[in-house]
Amino acid sequence: MKTKTICFVLSVLALTAAAQKADACTNVIVTKGASADGSNMVTYAADSHWLYGELYFHPAMDWAAGSMLRINEWDSGRYLGDIPQVAHTYKTVGNMNEHQLIIGETTWGGRLELMDKNGKIDYGSLIYVALQRAKTAREAIKVIVDLANNHGYFSEGETFSIADKNEAWIMDLVGKGTSGSDGSGKGIVWVARRVPEGYICAHANQARIGSFPKNDPENCLYAPDVISFARSKGYFQGSDEDFSFCDAYCPLDFGAMRGCEARVWSAFNILGKGKFTFSPEYSYDVNAGESVEVNVDNGAAKSAEVDAENGVDLKDSDMVTKDASHYLDYAMGYNKNNRMPLFIKPDKKVSVKELADVMRDHYEGTPMDMTTDIGAGGNALPYRWRPMGFEVNGKNYVNERAIATQQTGFWFLAQARNLPDIIGGLLWFGTDDAATSYLTPIYTNINEVPECVREGNGDLLTYSPTSSFWINSRVTNACYKMYNYMAPYVRERADKFETEQMGSAVSRTDDEALRMYNAIIAKYGDKSSQKAAGKFSKKLEKELAKVKDYLTDYTVRTAQQQFGTWVELEQTLLVKFIDGNVKAQYEDGSFKHTEFSEHVPDGLTQPGYTQKWKEAVAADHGDVVEVK
């Protein structure tokens, strides 16, 4: 339709502009009832061309009365102001703290007139200050709201993943516009929904909370003026029960669906094994729909019709199951009425490794597969350099934006586990492109971080040979030249390390740390029992420090050893794949050589290019290169 074409063009331009900002991230939330090991899990890829991969570390601190906290914008380092410091701040390691609180985010912008240019708190500061001041997810929500309302919110619209070892939440928020010099008008409007037990959720630079329960504080919290403020701005005119946060504050367009919601669809598609199973209460109401023909991964054309009354099949009053293809027209930007549910149940309980691999997705096996079209070049490269849109002969096109992307600064999978806090918090941390990098285990009650991820060890303008970010960037950028041969070679090695660590290695470490902890508590009692008895033993603190020392040693040693392995890997890649060749190796990793010389390779192959590429070259330049 002509109208759709006009919207498509405008939306691609918006998508291209959005790609210039440091706000393209992806989060997946898995509740403990949906995880294989009973932990609450959150993934986060901090994707920005301006963000360096390093692990932020702040020890617990006591502060004198009257102390102030300097706030610099996370993205730019710009000074925003000073706010009062609290008496005690908790230890934080990356996006977790010592009490197993996890916070991740994705930026969605929304109505930019709602940014407060006088605000003192940006979205990054909301994360890292809240981690220093809150023990639980509910406390973190309150801290975030109080910080923004008291000091003004400087940034655009945000979605936060917030989890502790008991609960997991998704929170959408946006500012109220520039506040007055007297502080009037500052603050945020927001909604937070608890992810139901046994379900998963995801968000990727688009507000996801639509309508929400108004009288269920156990599972839904919101600003008292979230609806009235939207009415006052002209964003919404209906009844309270019809109010949708995302529609009011972050209306959909093609770019939001194709560049953002498509990543949510892909995460759900992977973990749901091609099925979206959910309770009807977690679906979006659909007022109208149209049938759009979309080629699904089996090559057949299927109709993605939307139920004109309520958008879901209610034959089973308790649960709905839809093929992932049902929502493909929405993910691809063609039908904004066919919205996905906010939460789904995974096909089976999700393991740590399975969730980590979701962050490596390039839409493989779907119509948006980035490895199969001519844009992948001659070696199936699943990346497209920015900008995200381009024009040819007056028509506008889009470069796909998958979960895995080249501009990742750091990424993680955080676990809040049913273990004492001194042991339970576990941050699987990686740097650069998730598809060809590895996650290393970081316990969150450690005393120091590994040198390879230490804050200040290099930056985007300063190369460091001891930096995890830079060695992962070297490996990744090497893979880009022969991706279909080099990336699998690298992934095999990342998988081997992660499988060992996520299986027996961390399990053994947990067991030993727990044995040490239980022995200490049996002898001295825990802090709560000592407090109840009116005494507190410094000996207890000293003994518990041994557990932290043990976990610190394991964390640092493991990270540094794997860093060394990756340094050697980068050298191997250069030798093995030089000039488009592939050199054969023995099982021990040494290179095969001829019987005549140890210095001449044997079994060398030259795999060349994909068939798709050969056909494209023949079509484009065949009259010149054809052998006659």
Q: Cβ(294)–Cβ(304) under 8 Å?
A: yes
Q: What average pLDDT does the segment 114-141 reach?
A: 97
Indicate the Cα dihedral angle 401, 406, 407, 410, nearest 10°. Answer: 110
pLDDT, tens digit (0-9, with 9 covering 90-100), for 352-410: 999 999 999 999 999 999 999 999 999 999 999 999 899 999 999 999 999 999 999 99
Report the C-alpha gap between 571 and 475 in whole angstroms. 9
- Do 325 and 331 meet the contact criterion of CB atoms below 8 Å apart? no
Cα-trace Rg, the chain: 26
Would you say 121 and 144 are in contact if contact means Cβ atoms under 8 Å apart?
A: no
Mean pLDDT score across all residues of the chain: 90
Q: Please name the residue that has the structure tokens 């002509």.
A: 2
Q: Region 157-175: what's the mean pLDDT?
A: 98
CB atoms within 10 A of CB 309: 12
pLDDT value at residue 280: 87
Distance between CA atoms of residues 421 and 99, nearest Å:
5
What length does the chain have? 628
Rounded to whole angstroms, how far apart are CA atoms 559 and 554?
Answer: 8
Q: For the residues of 127-145, what is the DSSP string, one character each? A: HHHHHHH-SSHHHHHHHHH
Percent of residues in the chain assigned helix, strand, coil, to nearest 5:
35, 20, 40
DSSP string covering 32-79: GGGBTTS-EEEEEEEE-TT----B-EE--EE--TT-EEEEE-TTT--E
User: Which among 620, 613, 607 is positioned nearest to 371, based on CA atoms?
Assistant: 613
Q: How far apart are CA 342 and CA 278, in angstroms?
A: 9
Which of 98, 58, 52 minimizes the C-alpha distance to 77? 52
Q: How far is CA 159 from CA 165, 302, 362, 525, in A?
A: 20, 33, 22, 41
Closest by CA to 491, choosing from 442, 438, 444, is 438
Give yes or no for residue 312 having a pLDDT over 80: no
**Is the pLDDT confidence value at 1 over 80?**
no
449-497 pLDDT tens trace: 999 999 999 999 999 999 999 999 999 999 999 999 999 999 999 999 9
Interval 530-538 mean pLDDT: 60
Q: What is the mean pLDDT of residues 579-608?
A: 96
Whether 145 contacts 188, CB under 8 Å: yes
CA dist 498 and 436 (Å) reads: 12
pLDDT tier for residue 443 given thresholds of 50, 70 and 90: very high
What is the structure's pLDDT at 317?
52
Distance CA 223, CA 191 (A): 7
CA distance 606 to 205: 41
Q: Which is more confident, 521 or 21?
A: 521
Report whether 173 contacts 127 (CB < 8 A).
no
CB 423 within 8 A of CB 510: yes
The Cα 594–Cα 600 span in angstroms is 6
Sequence letter at residue 423? I
Grade residue 292 by pLDDT with cuts at 50, 70 and 90: very low
CB atoms within 10 A of CB 545: 14
Kindly state the tokens that stand for 314. Answer: 């209610």
CA distance 171 to 139: 13
Q: And the tokens for 153?
A: 């919110």
pLDDT at site 180: 82
Name the residue among 200, 263, 262 with its Cα closest to residue 434.
263
pTM of the model: 0.91
Q: What is the mean pLDDT of residues 107-136?
A: 96
CB 161 within 8 A of CB 194: no
Taking alpha carbons only, the member of 497, 354, 510 closest to residue 426 is: 510
Which amino acid is located at 345 in the chain? K
Residues 6 or more apart whose CB falls under 8 angstroms from that of 81 comprise 71, 120, 151
Structural element, H or E, at residue 188:
strand 188-194
Which of 372, 349, 350, 347 minimizes the C-alpha distance to 359? Answer: 350
pLDDT tens digit sequence for 55-98: 999 999 999 999 999 999 999 999 999 999 999 999 999 999 99
* Strands (DSSP E) found in 468-575: none
